[in-house]
Amino acid sequence: MSEHYFDQLESHIVELLERCQTLEQENQQLRTERSRLLEVNALTRHRVEAMIQRLKSLEHKQ
Q: Is the pLDDT of residue 62 over 80?
A: no
Residue 5 domain flag: no
CA distances from 57 to 28, 51, 53, 61 (A): 44, 10, 6, 6
Angle at 25 between CA 21 and CA 28, to 5 degrees: 140
pLDDT at 1: 73
Angle at 20 between CA 35 and CA 39, to 5 degrees: 0
Residue 62 domain flag: yes
- Domain holding 46, by residue range, is 30-62
pLDDT at 44: 98
Residue 59 domain flag: yes
Residue 35 domain flag: yes
Residue 25 domain flag: no
Number of domains in the chain: 1
pLDDT band at 45 (very low <50, low <70, confident <90, very high): very high
Residue 20 domain flag: no
Residue 42 domain flag: yes
1-5, 33-37, 50-54: range with lowest mean pLDDT: 1-5
Separation of alpha carbons 33 and 42, rounded Å: 14
Q: Is the pLDDT of residue 13 over 90?
A: yes
Residue 8 domain flag: no
